[in-house]
Structures are given as structure tokens and as C-alpha cells.
Structure 1
Amino acid sequence: MPGTHNFEHLPLLLRFRGRARLQGFGKPSPQTRANNAARAAHSNALLASAQSWSAGWQQRKALREEQELPIIPGGVPILLQVDPSLELDVLREKFSFEIVAEQEEGYVIVASEDIEVAPFLAMVRAFAVQVRGSAKIAEVHRLLDDPQQTDRLSRILSERLLTEWPQIADDQLYIVDIGIACTGVSQIPKLPKKGKRDTDATWARKELVWSQARTDAYNAWDSIKELRETEIEEFARSYGAEILHLIDGAPFDSAVLPDSFTVRFRIVGRGLRDFILNYAYIFEVVEPEDIALPQRAAEAVPLPGNLATPTAPEADAPAVCVIDSGIQEGHVLIQPAIEQTSSRCFLPGKNVDDVGDFVAPGGHGTRVAGAILYGEVVAKEGTPQLPFWIQNARVLDENNMMPVELFPPKAVRAAVERFHLGPRHTRIFNHSINANSYCRTRYMSAWAAEIDWLCFTHDVLFVQSAGNLTSSGPMPQPGVADHLAAGRDYPAYLLEPSSRVANPAQSLQAITVGSVAYGSLQDGAWRTFASERGHPSAFSRSGFGIWGVIKPEVVEYAGDDLRTANVPADVQGGGLIPAGCPELVRSTMFPPGPPFDRDDVGTSFAAPKVARIAAMLQHVLPEEPALLYRALIVQSARWPAWADALLVELRHPDCRRNPQRRQQLLQQVSEIIRWIGYGVPDETGATVNTDFRTTFITSGEKTVRARECHIYQVPIPPELRGQADEFDIRIEVTLSYVAQPRRTRRNLRRYLSTWVDWKSSNLGEGLNDFRVRALREDDNEDEPLPGSALPWTLNEKSDWGLIRDTKRNCGTVQKDWAVVKSNSLPDQFCIAVVGHPGWSHDPDSAARYALAVSFEIMGQEIAIYDPLRTAVIELQTQVEVEVEAEVEDEVEVQIDD
């Protein structure tokens, strides 16, 4: 038996890596096949619309010169409809069209420097007479000739701006955020293949030429961005517009991603209209969103007689940066943990040391900081040592608002650059800030995309609140009372689009946290919405997020709203019933008021409880990547008892004999995952194991390229799979990955440079059979023995699992779980991590990932940790021997040569 242990996580062993066996790509659409069958007609239709479009723009350009309007350099916008399966780089390669934005149903906004679109027209004519190389024209279904640009405007303007567009007044000032594409027409060429006749010298020259072409493409993208920044500055001056990022005379600054940047304008209506209609590279125009952090606090109560006197954390304890309204740094319950030397105010017009929490009556950032330090219960006595350092990044004013001069993407970037690149290299950022409305789903917002970019660029984790519904509000942002008055009951109204998670909670890389209630409570005429502990809070915004991604991923206990029984019901925040609120440290800057209380609710206070778990993971696993912390948090999450009971019933064989009940259960669990994601995380489950639960993890930074596959192996010892036993074993798998985002893409798999998913071996499928199924190897084209699939709760397709309408591989954190009988377990359980091509054609483009696999014996009939630990140590020894043998063989071959 191996030596003693502390129930630490066990290593996941990488056994094989190679070329992935990927499924085939989509077939051409019926319209493409019809175009191929009627080449002349399709060619004539495209010629007519393209020539009309070109003539219209030439006339528009001439008229601008006559009227001496400001020069708008660059190309002209075109709206195309293409086959949804078309690789968009074809438009760049064949026609010199720059891809501005990808839309749904095959619509693409492109820009052409050539107003006569000569390359496009030449190929359209060639297509009619079946010239070789012109076949791609069949996949260009339409070029929309729309002189008023009605279709284009409907695809780039927000709902509100589109409604207001006809009434935009010439001299009225508008503040807007405008997304500008800057990918150009340069592209990375395909990596050359070494031919049989290539000598070492000729192959080296080919590689050098390709490497230089790749460098030139990256340099061209940087140059285009700089050119467009200059163009926008010149246009702004011509209309007296203000770029609100020109702070303190600094150079042009905006929220920048590799394919785009976003700039905030203050501009008169005629300038706004001119710019939007004529600047070809615009893919989004939205109004700035207000921040929504509703205060739901009850009246202050007297101070307690005694307080704890906490002490400072260990010098090397993890740090958590609180991006919020500031913190009352001298508060007796949190002062020892505040790293005051690093505190910074990022609000324009305020001193950098103006870092206090001036939100009345009890603060906001102060409460968040306290929840990170204390979790569910604030210390009442003694001298507890605080577990983490708190860093204070103030971005909200005393009204819990962010001024329009501070662009949210820039605020989060400034915080990460200060604190992550600072002495403590902070990796965990709590961001309990949301817009006051549900997130848009046309594109990833600049704010959310910035968080994704920061997580890709740096090894950081953002813990993000899901956002709150107000008690009441105007359309299109109805509050809880408005839903009830309209006949939408709790919790069904949480499925409404207006209840969707609020910007930037749709970020793929942030771990988004919703709220659940403490239970059914009543005080006089007021009662909580929840009828049981763990039901979704009435105010907690729900999923899905953008592109059907599961959001929030997890939930924590952060209270509930209150209602009366009358119709229509009165609704208010939960502070009236203290037992229904989380216990939080409270600012004492506005007396009277206690230093802690149960007087406020909201997802703002759910997020820091998860940030606390992340910081605890950093303490236990300080050298591991933040991606693993996210994986382990999600891995530890469980549905509350009331929700899990529905899954248990659904898994029972008797359920299949009652189709009506089964259909009801399928609908219920498919709604629950939208409310509470994967459930409530557990600090103990995330950080350590027990005799009855064992977690295996990857260690260090793991990267996978497109079309590459990594196979991990978990040995299952005989003690777990005895044929006489039928213990229930819960298997959980969580993949957490990050890749480079591209904001102009309206599709998950094109938003990321490389996207990743996982698949498992089946019951009864051997290691070699799974290897054949997962890897494409020249010496192994045999048909694998399939085995029977595990009964995954989500599964790879939206109609395969117990939970419908979503699937496990639609986001960058992918969890699934199954319950199987112990005697059906194979002797080896394998997981394949597979990389897929995203928007990048760079062969060196890769995604980073972390993987966790857990086994739990539900009835605790036998201990499983020690047998699994022994088995993996034996396998690890075997692997090391195999590697040494391979190295020796290579050395012998070299000597023979």
C-alpha cells in the first residue's frame, strides 16, 4: 500500500496524443445545390444586384464630394447572404472582401475597397459558363442591394437605436459605443507540406517563406487598427465629436481585441448618422448601459455588544481583487486583510486614493469583501486569522454607477493590469457589477469580450454576478412585480428573455454566479417566493447566455425577494426577514448601523462566496492554473436536494413506463439548469477528497491544437467493480478551457481561435478500442468495439441526455455527470480532449485547458480513495517505464544510424 496521504487530488495520466478523428463537415445547403443547377440564372441575379449596388455607391461618393462632407476613407459596406457552411475566409481570398461581421442564417457584412467589386463580378461571370475555380459563387446566395441600408442597420444597431433611428435629431448629442472591425484582407497562409522531392534546403526555404508571411499578416492587422483609429479621430474632429477615452490627453484608447476595437463617442445626430451609414467597418452600435446594483437593505439595527478582532492573513496568502464601489478599508472586521498600498480609484475626476465605499446606507464593495473573507457566517468573537488579502479597485461612484467617461472594458483591463501584473500577481477578481438589462445575444459585448480576452492573455479568473431583476421596472426591463401582474408566475418568469443574465455575465471565461434562497420564510403579510431551501431567488437572472451557453454556471445562497398574497402582489427586497438574507459585513460610514447584518440580498453577494472557494483553491494548489480552479468549482457543484430528487426519479427504470410523467420531468430539469446551472459549489468538495469521493486532475498548463486529441486514462481497481456488488457510482467530468476570442463572430465556434470538447469511453469499451475511436492513426483504421454509452445527464447533443435544449459542449466550461452501477464499470475509464478549428488558421494556435474527473460511491458502502490512489500510482509507474523504454529505443536507433 502506498504511503500516507491527506486526501489530495490524484493525477490524471495522459496516455496518448495524436491527430483527432473528427466528424465530417456540413453538406451544402439546398440553395447552394439549386444555384449549381441553375448557374446562368444565379449569375444574372448576382450581377444585377452587384452592379446596381456599385452604381449607387459611386453616386453617393460623388454627392458627398459635391456637398463637401467630411471624407470617410476606406471601403464600402456590403451585406451578403452565404451558405452557412461556407468558410468565410473564402470571401477574403477570392474577392478581397474584408469580413466585418458574421450574422445568423448565413448573413455576412463585408467591406470592399474596390467600389466596382471587379474580382467578384469576374467570378460571377465565370460561374455562368462553368469556368474552373468559380464554384464558390454557388455558396454566395445573395448580395443585398439596399440603398437605404435598412437590412444592414437592423443588424448593427441596438434595438433602442434602431427604433430611434428615423427620429435622430441633427443637433442632439448622443453617446454611443461603436464596434469597429480591423481584420483586413491579409491572412495566414496554410502551412506547407513537405514533398517527397524536397531537400532539407528547399524545405527550410518553404518554412521561412511561410513564417515571414505569417509575421506579415500579424503586422498588417496591427497597422490596420492604427489606421482606423486615426481615421476615426479625424472624422470626430470634423463634427466636433468627443472620443470619451481621450482621458488626460492620453493617446487614443479603446477596448481592443485582435479583430476589432470599440470606441465610445459623444457626437451630434447628423455626425452619428453620417458615420454609421458610410463607414464600412462598423459591426455594432449600442448605447451605454447603466449599472444595476439595487440596494435592498432594511432599516439599521443597534450595534452588537462584542466583535471579533481578526488578524492579518499569512504574508503569502492568496489575494482577491474586488472591482466594485470601493471598500471601507478601516472596518474592524476586514481592515487587517486590506492591502492598502495597492488600492486604486479608477473613476475619472477623482484622486487615485479616493477608494472608500460611499454607497449608502451599508456599502456595496465592503459587503462583497466581507463575504470573500467570512463566507456564510461573520466571526462574532475571538481573533480569527483572515484567510486572504483583499485588493480594492474602485470603479463605481457613491450612487453605485459607472460614469460614461469610464468605459467598462477599460476599467476591468486597468484593474487586471494593476493587480495581476503587480507584486502579488493576483489571479482572482470578484466582479459583482452588471448592466441594468439582460445581455444582448447578437455579438459578445465589448465588456464580456474584454473579460474573455484578459482570461486568455493572463492566468486569471473572473467571478461574475449573474445580475438582479428589480422589484419593478419599465418595459422592456420588467421587474418581479411586473411579471406577476402580467400573469407570469415564479419561477417561470425567470425563463423570459428579459430575465436573461445581465452584461457581462454572458462572458464565456467568467464563472457566473446566480442566487438561491434560504427557504420558505414569513413575517406577517410578507413571505419569501421560495417554498424550499435552494429554490432560485426571485431576483436572480437566469440562462441561457449567448449562444445557448449554460449561465449561471453555479449559484450560492444570497437571499430572496418578498411578496404578499394579494393580487397583484406587492414585492420588495428581502431585508424585512433577516433569516432570508445572507449575513454580510456592513459599512459603518453612514451611522446608525451595525458592522454586520442580515439586511440585503442580491447576486452581488453570491459571487464573492464563490470567489472565496477560488481563493481557497489557490491556497491549496498555488502552482496550478486558474482554469483548474474554475473546473474544480464547477466539479464540486451539486443541485439542491429538491432538484436532484427529480433527476433521481427520472433515472429510475419505472419512469420509462410512465411517458407522461417522464415528459414532465424532462421539462422540469431542463428549466432548472437555466435557473441554477450546475448547482451550489462546495469548498470541501473542491479542495479535498474523502474515502468515498475521489477527484483526478491535470496539472500545469495543458494546450491542445486544432485537430489534436489527448487521451487520459483512469484505472478502475477490482474493488470498485466486483460483479457481486451493485453500488451506485457517480462519475463527473469537467473541462475548463480558454482560447483567443474574436468579437465580430456570431457563433461560439468562430468566436474562439480553437474550440475544445471532450468525450469518454463507453461501458464495455477497452482502452485500445477507445483509442481507435478517438485518434486517426495511419496504422490503425480498425472498427472499434463500441460498448454502451454512459447515461450522461447532458451529453453531446441537446436531445441525448436527461436535460434537454442544451448540451455539455456549448461553453468553455463543460461538465457532465452520470450514475452507473459499480459492477458495470470498465477496468479503464478514458477521456479524450479534442481540439477543433475556430477562426484561426495559424497552426500554432492552441487552447489551454484543465480537466477534472471524479468518482463517488453514493451510498458510501465501501471506501474508494485508497484503491483508486493505489491503482493510479501503479499505472504512473508503468507509464514511466514505457517512456524510458521508448527513449532507449530512440537512442539505439540513433547509434545504429
Structure 2
Amino acid sequence: MVESISAIKLAAIDALWTDERELLPNAEQAIWWEVWLRYSEKFDCEAFVREHAPHLNLRVSAESIRFLDRTIILVFGTREQISHSIHLLGAIAELRKAKDTADFFTGMGRQDQRAWIEQTLENLTPPPNDAPTICILDTGINHEHPLLQPVAEMTDMHTYIPGWGTDDRNGHGTNMAGVSIYGDLTEAVANPLPLKLTHRLESVKITPNPDFHTDKKLYGAITRDSIARVEIEADRQRLFCMAVSTTDNRDRGRPSSWSATIDAISSGAEDEQQRLVILSAGNTDPQHRHLYPNNNLTDEVHDPGQSWNALTVGGYTEKVWLDTATNPDWIPLAPAGGLAPASCTSMTWQKTWPIKSDIVMEAGNMATNPANEGADYIDDALQLLTTGHQFALGKQLVSFGDTSAATALAANLAAKVQALYPDYWPETIRALLIHSAKWTPAMKAVFEPLNSQAKYQQLMRYCGYGVPDQDALFWSARNELTLIAQDVIYPYTKKGSNVKTRDINLHTLPWPADVLRDLPPKTQVEMKVTWSYFIEPNPGERGWVNKYRYASHGLRFDVRRPLETLTDFKQRINQKARDEEHAYNGATPDSGQWLLGEKLRSLGSVHSDTWTGTAAELAERGYIAVYPVLGWWKERANLERWGKSARYALIVGIKTPSVATDIYTAIEKQIFLPVAIE
């Protein structure tokens, strides 16, 4: 009977385990467990665990994370030790393997690091030769690092100035390379699981040192020429990743020569080839980070991060565990899910400029000592793990962070999407990352209550659209449906001496209307619409006033309203297209059911908004119109751009309650077709 009870207790641990089954330790293997405790108004589960852990020879972390109905702590011990107490098991909602941190590996000697690297290589499957490529524009890459050899060739290493060489003597480029291929290497190295790589590496050394602030060069030209150099050498599917930026705050969101060059390159203005360029938002002043989060509010996104077409990446952090035994009294500077101390924002920009950053990714954290109120990178556990450029001297695995690491993570994510969907355009991949993004509770808490569009604008200028959800990005749950369209529109035409708007694209969406109507009458559903297009820039000062605009063209979307007939919808959209000034300013409200509203969501060249209503209302909203508004292609007819076409990607997601029936079957045989209205 005693053996049966023990087996039941161990089985209870198996049932509480929500991580990958391969990571569940055997009964006598001691590990750090991530313990998610239940919430009760009558019983303090965390206090109970801390009080009884010594009696079970369990160690408990000093830190904890509290959410609405869960408290998370780290516990070191075996399955058997945890299973000894029925009361302890009753306090636990779920168990996971605690994330290994960078300090575990950076604190190792060279031989131990090499052993972990060799284990990773044994489990690794290199990408195919025709896999997508991330081209890193940085300080070069030392591609002979053991973890980079499977994805990088010497022939793909380039330099802007031949005398610089292609190697990395600073470390920044090689750090970027490791994260762009593996993500946070902590997870890849720590988990003895098969690892299949999806993309490869290229490099152009555009500077010997990323801290080039006194080196006055025309970096727009350097970026343009470096990209051209890579594309001449090899014709392949690639995206570009650059975490080099300036540090001055002169632009305040206005286009610069560098950001406008990025816009021209990505739009294909000169060669009709569109490109995805991923940029960092830049880092806040390290001397002022102890003022967090106030320093984030005033330190602006760095040039060229204001680029309209680029995917600009800021930083947030989930890294809040540090070694309080080694660093007593030190505490993490940013809370779990909060903006990273290094992340710049567009809080002080004029309201007419695009929302930047677009998304945020893990950028690491810092810690502060209450005794002196200084902020420091005190513990590598608060950073990511990546490849070191001095690997031959023993620094094979090193810590890395700030918005450079976040930018490399975004490139890693974008390349995975490109590998999975090779036919998707750069505009589509940018849209997908933004469409899947969500704000964390810590981000929203900074601006609560979120009861106005002004508050949401502050939130977006603080952290963009949030953190991409990889589950939502790569897979749709059965209660979620994502529809994707890649299409072309001709915004303008010339009649006599006048340039006028031309096409409106009407997308008929194959809503499962019958399924939605069959749901209970008050069932709340969501429709999220994201779309992305690239503009051709006009960066001169004249582009900053109303008459001559920076963007070549503007595009907007609108959705048929409930109770609005298709004929009425067409007439309304035609009226909005004719009244261009009215449309450009984002008027014509569509009730309070849109989270952001037309005016706020229409900034820049990527737009995303969420509508919430009943299932019956959604069933009647099966049409989305895409229409043009003002741009210099129209207003500067002498440049003869008015006849050009414009590409765009449109993503529509429907989210129904988990109790809803399958909504895929209802649209399986339907086709997503655009119809042009003259």
C-alpha cells in the first residue's frame, strides 16, 4: 500500500508537469523546478511552501512572481522530495523545468563550455542550402565559431571597406549572429533535444565598432551599398538585420537620410525588389537607467529606427531571477513582462509620425542596489546567451542583451516564418509578427486605466504592438482562424492633367456566417485586422508639410458595419476615397468597438486593430475594403509615379470562445477573392 501511495504521488507530479515530456527528470534527479502555485484568499501557498521546504530538504528561490491567480517560485529538489507532501502537491497548479540562465554557462571553463557545445552540435540538423538567409549588417562575424559553422560560409562574409577585413574584432556582430540563428542559446544548449535549423547567415561589416558616434559617415549610403554587395554575390531569399544606430535625438520621428534610405531600399523604389529590414530601436543612456521607467519615456528611438517600412524592434524582459546569495539586496530593475531598461520609445514624437518600435522582444534586464540606487549588469542570469567572437581563447559562450539582442531575436523569428512560408512577401512577414503581438500585463499597467485612445497611443509609443506570440504566429488553435491575402492595388490614375484616385479593392471574406449565428446570442468574438505595405519615401523638408507628403501613397482599410448593406458599404467607401483629405485624417468613426480606431491605427505603413462584438454582428461584417488616400505619387504628377502599383498584405484573424464549434470546416471550400471597384 505504501508503494502504491508513492506511485500515486509521482503520478500526480506527472499530471502537474506542463513542459515538454522529454524534460521531466527521473525520480531521483535534482533540478530547479518552476513551481506555479495556486491562489487562495484563505491560504497563502507561497508562505506554506517556504515554511515547509526545509523539512523536505528543498531549496526555494528568494524571488517570486505574482499574477492575478498564480504565484511562481523556483524550487530545487527531486520529484521524490516534492511528492513526499500531499499538502505541497495540493498547493501546486503546475510544474515546469526552470529556465537555465546565461550565468550557468558563462561561469564555466572552456572545456565545460565545449562539452555543452558538442552536445548541441550532435543534436543539430543544419538548414538546407537554399534556406532563407539573415544578412547581418554589423561589425562582421567570426563564422568559424563551432555553433556558426553549420550556417555560415566564408564566401558569405563581406565588408564595406576591404581594409577592415570580414572578421569581428569587437564582438557585437558575432553576438548578433548567435541569437539570430538560435535565439537565446541558453535554451538550445541546455535542452538535449533535436534542433533543426531553418535559416543561414550572411554578413557585411559596415563598421569596425558599433559605437561610431564620432565617425561622421553617410550611413544611408553605406547601408545601401552593403546590401547591394550581398545581392550581387548571391541570389537568394534573405532579410536584413541591423542593430547599429546613432544616439542623438534630433530627428524626433522625422525622416533622416539614413531612415529614408532604408525606406527606399525596402520598398524597391529603384529596382522593384522589396526587402524586409529589421532595425533596433536603440538603447537608453546607461547612466540614467536607474531612473527606470522614466528614462524610457524620454529616450527616443534612434536613427534610422524611425523608418516607415522597417520592422523596428524594442526590448522587454522576462528575466527577473538573479543570484541573491552572491548579490544580496540587489533586485531586478524591470518587472517580469515590463519594458527593458535599455529600450527607447517614441513617446516624445509628434503624433503624426509612425508608431515605433513596432514590436518588442527579450532584451535582458539589469539590477539595482537600493544602497546606492545604481543600475548594473550585475548578473549574467539577467542576460541572453550567445556566441562569443573570442571563441579560440575560451570565450565561446557569452552574455548579450539590450535592443541588439531583441533585434536579433526578431530576425530569428522572421526567418523561421520565411522558411515555413517561402511564398510570403516581406510586407506579409512584417504584418504577421505584428499581428501575433500582445501587450503583457506589466506593459498595460503603466498606462492603466486604458480607457481612451490617448492612453492606447501612449502604450503603443511605449512598446509598439507588444510581444509576438509564437504559438499564434506559427499555429492557429481550433478556436482561432487567420486569413491572409497578398494583393496589388493601383492607387492613382491620370485623367487629363489631373491625377485622381483609381482603384478600391473589396475583399470578400469567407466568414463562417452560419456557424457564428448559431452561437449563443451574446457570445463575444474578436476580429483582428493587420495589414502592411511599403511606401516610397520623399525625405526632403517639403515632405513634412501637408501639401507634399513623405509617403508615396497612403492606403487604408475599412470593414462593412453590421446592418450595412453591401451597396451602402460600397457607396461609403467610394465617398471616403473621393474625400481624400477627410480619409487621410482618419475621420468617420466606426463606433467604440474598435480598440484603437481609424485615426490611431492609420499611422505609418503598417496598421493593426481589433474589433470586439457579438458573433451575430461579426457574421454581417464579411467584407473589407482597401482604398487609397493622399501621397506624393498623386500630388507631384510631374514625377510620373501616379501609374505605379502598390503591394499590400492583409491579415484577418477571428477569435471565438473555446466552446465554439470548429470554424474551419465552414470555409474549407470557399475562396478569398478581391474585387476591384472603379
Q: Output the TM-score relative to the length of structure 1.
A: 0.55
1:450 aligns with 2:294: no
Identity of aligned residues (%): 24
State the 1:406 CA deviation: 4.6
State the 1:572 CA deviation: 1.8
1:743 aligns with 2:551: no
State the 1:849 CA deviation: 1.5
Q: Rate the CA distance shift 1:675–1:776 in 2: closer, same or farther, 3 A.
A: closer
Q: Rate the CA distance shift 1:642–1:862 in 2: closer, same or farther, 3 A.
A: farther
Instruction: Give the match for residue 734 of structure 1.
Output: 530
Of the candidates 153, 173, 192, which is equivalent to residue 365 of structure 1? 173
> What is the distance in 1 between the residues matched to 2:232 and 2:667?
38
> What is the distance in 1 between the residues matched to 2:210 and 2:241?
19
State the 1:300 CA deviation: 6.0
1:694 aligns with 2:499: no
Of the candidates 795, 801, 818, which is equivalent to residue 597 of structure 2? 795
SS of residue matched to 1:606: helix
> What is the distance in 1 between the residues matched to 2:614 and 2:664?
20
**Counterpart AA for 1:386:** L
Q: Rate the CA distance shift 1:615–1:319 in 2: closer, same or farther, 3 A.
A: same
CA contact (8 A) 2:511 2:622 kept: yes
> What is the distance in 2 between the residues matched to 1:471 and 1:695?
41
> What is the distance in 2 between the residues matched to 1:715 and 1:459?
29
SS of residue matched to 1:750: coil
SS of residue matched to 2:295: helix
CA contact (8 A) 2:359 2:434 kept: yes
1:535 aligns with 2:364: no
SS of residue matched to 2:670: helix
State the 1:450 CA deviation: 0.3
Of the candidates 116, 119, 138, which is equivalent to residue 306 of structure 1? 116
> What is the distance in 1 between the residues matched to 2:576 and 2:243?
48
State the 1:317 CA deviation: 0.8
SS of residue matched to 1:447: helix
1:773 aligns with 2:543: no
> What is the distance in 2 between the residues matched to 1:366 and 1:683?
25
Q: Rate the CA distance shift 1:578–1:662 in 2: closer, same or farther, 3 A.
A: closer
CA contact (8 A) 1:759 1:833 kept: yes
CA contact (8 A) 1:755 1:835 kept: yes
**Residues 79-132 of structure 1, C-alpha deviations (whole Å, 9 max, x = no match):** xxxxxxxxxxxxxxxxxxxxxxxxxxxxxxxxxxxxxxxxxxxxxxxxxxxxxx
Of the candidates 154, 176, 179, which is equivalent to residue 340 of structure 1? 154
Instruction: Give the match for residue 619 of structure 1.
Output: 419
CA contact (8 A) 1:796 1:808 kept: yes
**Counterpart AA for 1:552:** S
Instruction: Give the match for residue 563 of structure 2.
Output: 764
> What is the distance in 1 between the residues matched to 2:622 and 2:374?
54
Who wins on radius of gyration, i.e. which is larger?
1
CA contact (8 A) 1:500 1:541 kept: yes
1:591 aligns with 2:393: yes
Instruction: Give the match for residue 96 of structure 1.
Output: none
> What is the distance in 2 between the residues matched to 1:700 and 1:379?
41
> What is the distance in 2 between the residues matched to 1:818 and 1:828?
11
**Counterpart AA for 1:765:** E
SS of residue matched to 1:820: strand
**Counterpart AA for 1:756:** L
State the 1:318 CA deviation: 0.6
State the 1:605 CA deviation: 0.5
SS of residue matched to 2:116: coil
SS of residue matched to 2:393: coil
**Residues 404-429 of structure 1, C-alpha deviations (whole Å, 9 max, x = no match):** 47521122112221223443334310
Alignment of 1:67-146 (within 5 A): none
State the 1:501 CA deviation: 0.3
Instruction: Give the match for residue 353 of structure 2.
Output: 548
> What is the distance in 2 between the residues matched to 1:635 and 1:607?
17
Q: Report which stretch shifted further, 817-826 or 389-398.
A: 817-826
1:465 aligns with 2:276: no
Instruction: Give the match for residue 188 of structure 2.
Output: 378
Of the candidates 230, 253, 261, which is equivalent to residue 419 of structure 1? 230
Q: Rate the CA distance shift 1:725–1:424 in 2: closer, same or farther, 3 A.
A: farther
CA contact (8 A) 2:139 2:205 kept: yes
**Counterpart AA for 2:337:** G
Root-mean-square deviation (CA, aligned residues, Å) is 3.2
Instruction: Give the match for residue 818 of structure 1.
Output: 611
Of the candidates 659, 667, 670, which is equivalent to residue 874 of structure 1? 670
CA contact (8 A) 2:315 2:343 kept: yes
State the 1:677 CA deviation: 0.7
> What is the distance in 2 between the residues matched to 1:721 and 1:339?
56
CA contact (8 A) 1:325 1:358 kept: yes
1:610 aligns with 2:449: no
State the 1:738 CA deviation: 1.4
1:480 aligns with 2:289: yes
Instruction: Give the match for residue 582 of structure 1.
Output: 384
**Counterpart AA for 2:181:** L
**Residues 832-878 of structure 1, C-alpha deviations (whole Å, 9 max, x = no match):** 21212312223314432211111112x411244414533xx3355xx
Q: Rate the CA distance shift 1:637–1:439 in 2: closer, same or farther, 3 A.
A: farther
CA contact (8 A) 2:143 2:154 kept: yes
Q: Rate the CA distance shift 1:716–1:384 in 2: closer, same or farther, 3 A.
A: closer
CA contact (8 A) 2:562 2:620 kept: no
State the 1:696 CA deviation: 1.0
SS of residue matched to 2:509: strand
**Counterpart AA for 1:368:** M
> What is the distance in 1 between the residues matched to 2:205 and 2:130?
24
Instruction: Give the match for residue 98 of structure 2.
Output: none
Q: Rate the CA distance shift 1:833–1:600 in 2: closer, same or farther, 3 A.
A: same
Instruction: Give the match for residue 315 of structure 2.
Output: 515
CA contact (8 A) 1:519 1:535 kept: no
Q: Output the TM-score relative to the length of structure 2.
A: 0.71
Of the candidates 344, 363, 374, which is equivalent to residue 558 of structure 1? 363
CA contact (8 A) 2:486 2:648 kept: no
SS of residue matched to 2:459: helix
State the 1:332 CA deviation: 0.5
Q: Rate the CA distance shift 1:740–1:788 in 2: closer, same or farther, 3 A.
A: closer
CA contact (8 A) 1:347 1:406 kept: no
> What is the distance in 2 between the residues matched to 1:758 and 1:700?
13
CA contact (8 A) 1:324 1:395 kept: yes
Q: Rate the CA distance shift 1:746–1:564 in 2: closer, same or farther, 3 A.
A: same
Q: Rate the CA distance shift 1:526–1:571 in 2: closer, same or farther, 3 A.
A: same
Q: Rate the CA distance shift 1:391–1:580 in 2: closer, same or farther, 3 A.
A: same
Of the candidates 268, 285, 306, which is equivalent to residue 506 of structure 1? 306
SS of residue matched to 2:619: coil
CA contact (8 A) 1:324 1:396 kept: yes
SS of residue matched to 2:262: helix
1:631 aligns with 2:431: yes
Q: Rate the CA distance shift 1:411–1:684 in 2: closer, same or farther, 3 A.
A: farther
Q: Rate the CA distance shift 1:730–1:688 in 2: closer, same or farther, 3 A.
A: same
CA contact (8 A) 2:157 2:203 kept: yes
Stretches of structure 1 lacking an aligned partner (at least 5 in a row): 1-295, 473-478, 485-489, 651-660, 779-785, 798-806, 884-897
> What is the distance in 2 between the residues matched to 1:787 and 1:587?
54
**Counterpart AA for 1:549:** P
Q: Rate the CA distance shift 1:591–1:436 in 2: closer, same or farther, 3 A.
A: farther
> What is the distance in 2 between the residues matched to 1:426 and 1:735?
22
Q: Rate the CA distance shift 1:867–1:367 in 2: closer, same or farther, 3 A.
A: same
Which stretches of structure 1, 4 residues or longer, exceed 6 Å deviation after superposition?
A: none
Instruction: Give the match for residue 126 of structure 1.
Output: none
Q: Rate the CA distance shift 1:437–1:424 in 2: closer, same or farther, 3 A.
A: same
Alignment of 1:634-713 (within 5 A): 634-643=434-443, 669-699=456-486, 701=488, 703-705=490-492, 707=501, 708-713=503-508
Q: Rate the CA distance shift 1:730–1:320 in 2: closer, same or farther, 3 A.
A: same
Stretches of structure 2 lacking an aligned partner (at least 5 in a row): 1-102, 493-499, 578-587
